[in-house]
């Protein structure tokens, strides 16, 4: 199937994204739990070799709604258990009273704003109830609050809440570092990893600030987004890898692995394309390098292993990782860079090579994929 992609790519990558969007339409209905009208947390290969559903996730359901918004209605219903996006978002909003997580509420409000849903005021009211301005928040969730409020401009009165949420996100950075931390303030992380931020901590602020600039011409927000985007592109791996852990104080790398398929195909392109659409620079070269990793990961060259994409099963395997016990490499590199920024333990990378493949797939991976490539 050929999809109307939002960005021009070379021929191989165009075919790959077309293929991945089709895989998403195969996989998402199999991740839906019709008995409870919820999406599973994950679909994973069991020890017997079967694909099985595990858990449920309100967060992932909201992300699927954000992506499914850009599908024709008949495909929305195929993905969302027979509902279209308006009906599915109404279901999510109706359950907000039982939602206590700020990030989940932010995503639901964002989905309501993006779809111009009549229940947006209710979603924003619950978001205000959960958002304590005096409490530090995870940067990912704080970014979703900004994205939701910025997307609500012109539909609801969000000026004061948005001003506070914007300020919280922008001042969370360490000094002149271009990168965002894991939390907007102290107290969320143990001391030995308080400097460590992940890829998601960069992608979601870039996206939220890009949306904010697009909606109201916020140059400071755009500048912060471009600085973060430029830096993660500078640090991109030689095989197109979007690395996982950064030093938020210096803008350096702490530990590259795991490399996640969702970052390569969905989250990275999503944030960078949103920034370009908001008047930022083009990141096409970095996006294309990241996509090429999916079908030819450098970590698996010369090794017998299965592919990441499984069309008939409707899955893309989640990540390539080291397989080190108790994530020892991450812990060691976190400690050494905490003590001396930029210092890495010699030899540990060679001791734990990234060959392992995580055979699970989560619905948000496909939700962000559809958003990344179909959003207009």
Q: DSSP characters for 135-152?
A: S--BHHHHHHHHHHHHHT
Q: Mean pLDDT over residues 215-230, rounded?
A: 98
Side-by-side strand order, sheet with 196-198 = 196-198, 245-247, 252-255
Return d(Cα 365, Cα 318) in angstroms, integer. Answer: 9
Q: What angle do CA 322, 324, 327 make, to 5 degrees?
A: 100
Strand partners, 259: 320
**Any bridge partners for residue 54, and if so which?**
42
Phi, psi of 346 (to 5 degrees): -70, 140
pTM of the model: 0.96
- The pLDDT, as a whole number, for residue 352 is 78
Q: Hey, what domains does the chain have and what are their CATH numbers?
A: 11-374 (1.50.10.10)
Q: How confident is the model at residue 326 (pLDDT cuts 50, 70, 90)?
A: low
Q: Does the structure show a pLDDT above 90 at 354? A: no
pLDDT at 342 over 80: no
CA 177 to chain centre: 21
DSSP code at position 48: T
The token pair at 17 is 């994204």
What distance in Å separates the CA atoms of residue 29 and residue 47, rounded to the nearest whole number?
Answer: 23
Q: CB atoms < 10 A from the CB of 265, how many?
A: 31
Q: How many CA atoms lie within 13 A of 229 on its CB side?
A: 31
53 upstream amide cis, omega within 30 of 0? no
Rounded Cα distance, 55 and 360, in Å: 13
The two structure tokens encoding residue 103: 């990030």
Length of the chain: 376
Minimum mean pLDDT range among 28-32, 190-194, 268-272: 190-194
Given this model, what pLDDT does residue 129 score?
98
Q: What is the structure's pLDDT at 345?
A: 64
266-303 pLDDT, tens digit each: 999 999 999 999 999 999 999 999 999 999 999 998 77
Beta strand 319-321 with 356-358 is antiparallel
Give strand pairing partners of 316: 309
């Amino acid at each position: 199937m050929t999809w109307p992609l939002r960005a021009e790519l070379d021929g191989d990558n165009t075919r790959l994204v077309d293929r991945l969007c089709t895989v998403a339409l195969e996989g998402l209905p199999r991740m839906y739990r019709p008995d409870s009208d919820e999406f599973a947390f994950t679909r994973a290969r069991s020890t017997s070799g079967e694909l099985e559903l595990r858990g449920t996730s309100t967060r992932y359901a909201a992300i699927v709604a954000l992506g499914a918004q850009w599908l024709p209605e008949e495909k929305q219903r195929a993905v969302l258990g027979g509902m279209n996006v308006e009906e599915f978002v109404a279901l999510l909003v109706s359950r907000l009273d039982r939602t206590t997580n700020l990030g989940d509420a932010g995503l639901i409000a964002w989905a309501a704003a993006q779809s111009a849903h009549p229940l947006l005021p209710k979603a924003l009211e619950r978001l205000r109830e959960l958002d304590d301005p005096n409490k530090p928040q995870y940067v990912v969730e704080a970014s979703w609050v900004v994205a939701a409020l910025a997307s609500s401009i012109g539909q609801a009165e969000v000026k004061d809440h948005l001003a506070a949420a914007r300020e919280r996100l922008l001042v969370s950075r360490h000094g002149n570092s271009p990168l965002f931390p894991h939390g907007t303030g102290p107290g969320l992380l143990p001391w030995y990893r308080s400097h460590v931020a992940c890829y998601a901590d960069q992608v979601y602020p870039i996206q939220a600030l890009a949306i904010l600039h697009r909606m109201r011409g916020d140059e400071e927000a755009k500048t912060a987004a471009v600085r973060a985007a430029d830096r993660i592109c500078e640090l991109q791996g030689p095989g197109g890898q979007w690395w996982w852990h950064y030093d938020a104080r210096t803008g350096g790398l702490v530990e590259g692995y795991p490399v996640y398929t969702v970052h390569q195909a969905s989250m990275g392109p999503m944030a960078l394309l949103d920034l370009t659409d908001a008047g930022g620079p083009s990141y096409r070269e970095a996006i294309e390098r990241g996509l090429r990793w999916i079908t030819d990961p450098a970590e698996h060259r010369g090794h017998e292993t299965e592919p990441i994409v499984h069309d008939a099963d409707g899955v893309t395997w989640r990540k390539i990782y080291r397989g080190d016990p108790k994530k020892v490499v991450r812990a060691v590199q976190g400690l050494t860079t905490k003590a001396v920024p930029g210092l890495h333990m010699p030899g540990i990378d060679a001791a734990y090579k990234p060959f392992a493949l995580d055979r699970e797939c989560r619905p948000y991976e496909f939700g962000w994929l559809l958003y990344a490539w179909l959003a207009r």
